[in-house]
Chain A
């Protein structure tokens, strides 16, 4: 039986704020953006976010926001599940924990006990720590355990891009499924900033990428920003091994390239769904998505599609992509 949503509080009806931040400028900004929200004073974000006995799926139906000050460390080494694009220095920054969207394959479900969103307000501390590494080319993924462009009440994307503008060794990767191109439209395009847009067929979006913008709206955002001169990477990643894979994914790739000029794209990445086995086990406990119960192969503690099937999925799409883009612009995610 479906839950009656009118018995639930609206998203961000409650905002938990660390005591030390209660009167800060950022919190006042948030209060004006969510004027009906009840503010609950907390000592430390972990008192709420890391509580025992939480239910991720239930909380996802009525998200709360937690405003906090991040403590050291502010940078983390990029994971093996991600492409480092050849950068020796590859970090990700957790400016925010969790995401507004609700993709059934998302590892965040298996990573945190809570679905509530933690927003760290002290962006300047992230910058200070990053500065120590900027003596050589450094890639920073700023939208890693979240989708920063989808929910950015403090304009952190703009703050990051402005910082990157003056740091010559700093390269930014901004991953998103959002259709929110406006913050970037206001800024000068920067060659060292790549916006990585995850694209999926509309039927996959409807079935598995809940609360995300439609393919049409994502393509529209890409078109606007690529024409404005921003570096865009489109990501057919993660591709899902669904029934009628070829019938769904092949026309989808053609649709993408009929809407966007391939020449205006900096890169295309192709990859199939993969997830850490520990996260997969946690997601299975929720018994929420069929994707968690696919008979994956477990290799080096990573759940992957069976090799033969994986090769088929990749090659099917790579073949079509290569009719639009040259090989040097196409990256295929390979197991490390």
Chain B
């Protein structure tokens, strides 16, 4: 699953259309979904961004295979062109710095960003937005540093002019193909098959129950199963034992089972 946190509907609209997402929730936040994507419109500012991120990731808890992108417009120094897309490698707030892992290959220029509480009109030596630090710090309750990515599109060089929906659309739209490639690459990067299949997990739980294994014996069995799978690159064939009459029988059965997995 790819999660997208976007502040404004105007920023999200071209992405929603490009990925064919449909509205799945209206309140407290608008959410647009497809089988592979969940996009939330957070609203502007750190508080909205934080609550929306937590809401999205609580509603649909992520796994190790998932990835979250924050996409939106930002103010930037003159060295960046209006409409240029930037991959963020450092996020600063007034109090802290955050660093997303930069393992995902991309085609954008990179820069650091400062998250502020109110729109910035004074010149600054780095990019400025109003959400990144809040999204990063909230998302870390659910995801790892390597599952987060922040892309900003330059909307102004610190001017007070409010961009129109059309302006925003014209800045975001040229990057849609590259965004989608990045989403798909992130998805592939995180794609992993669990080491132990659900079927084997269920079988091992039945064995635990039938043999009335203690907690430490259960851990021993879990370790032995993982050891077997990693050594053999395949899962063992386990039989569910019949009811064992006494503790001695159960323990013997257990010891034989562990030996067979070595």
Size category of the binding interface on chain A:
35 or more
Of A7-15, A161-169, A224-232, the one touching chain B? A7-15
| Residues 40 to 91 of chain A near chain B (Cβ within 8 Å) | 40-43, 47-48, 51-55, 58-59, 61-62, 64
Cα A38 to Cα B89 in complex, Å, equals 9
Cα A3 to Cα B97 in complex, Å, equals 30
- Interfacial chain B residues near A217, Cβ < 8 Å: none
- Interfacial chain B residues near A14, Cβ < 8 Å: 89, 102
Q: How far is the CB of B189 from chain A (nearest CB, A)?
A: 5
- B188 on interface, CB distance cutoff 8 Å: yes
Known: A1-B191, A293-B223. A51 touches B104 (CB 8 A): no
How many residues of B are counted as interface, with CB atoms below 8 angstroms from the partner's CB atoms?
33
Q: Is the CB of B105 within 8 A of A9?
A: yes
Q: How far is the CB of B33 from chain A (nearest CB, A)?
A: 24
Cα A290 to Cα B229 in complex, Å, equals 8
Q: How far is the CB of A218 from chain B (nearest CB, A)?
A: 26
DSSP class of B's interface residues: helix, strand, loop or mixed? mixed
Q: Is the CB of A55 within 8 A of B226?
A: no
- A279 on interface, CB distance cutoff 8 Å: no
Q: How far is the CB of B193 from chain A (nearest CB, A)?
A: 6
Known: A4-B188, A293-B226, A293-B230. A53 touches B102 (CB 8 A): no
Closest Cβ neighbor of B89 among chain A residues: A40
Closest Cβ neighbor of B191 among chain A residues: A1
Q: How far is the CB of A294 from chain B (nearest CB, A)?
A: 7
Cα A3 to Cα B186 in complex, Å, equals 10
- Interfacial chain B residues near A8, Cβ < 8 Å: 103-105, 189
Q: How far is the CB of A207 from chain B (nearest CB, A)?
A: 11
- Interfacial chain A residues near B188, Cβ < 8 Å: 3-4, 7
Q: Is the CB of B145 within 8 A of A54?
A: yes
Q: Is the CB of A51 within 8 A of B99?
A: yes
Q: How far is the CB of A289 from chain B (nearest CB, A)?
A: 7
Q: Is the CB of B192 within 8 A of A7?
A: no
Closest Cβ neighbor of A8 among chain B residues: B103
- B146 on interface, CB distance cutoff 8 Å: yes
- B13 on interface, CB distance cutoff 8 Å: no
Q: How far is the CB of A279 from chain B (nearest CB, A)?
A: 16
- A186 on interface, CB distance cutoff 8 Å: no
Interface residues of A (CB under 8 A from B): 1, 3-4, 6-9, 13-14, 16, 38, 40-43, 47-48, 51-55, 58-59, 61-62, 64, 284, 287-290, 293-295
In the complex, given contacts A7-B186, A47-B99, A293-B223, what are 15 additional A-B residue pairs having Cβ atoms less than 8 angstroms apart?
A3-B188, A3-B191, A7-B185, A40-B89, A41-B90, A51-B99, A53-B145, A58-B144, A58-B146, A59-B146, A61-B103, A62-B102, A288-B230, A290-B230, A295-B227
Q: Which 10 A-B pairs have the closest CB atoms?
A: A293-B227, A290-B230, A62-B103, A7-B185, A290-B231, A14-B102, A53-B144, A58-B146, A293-B223, A55-B144
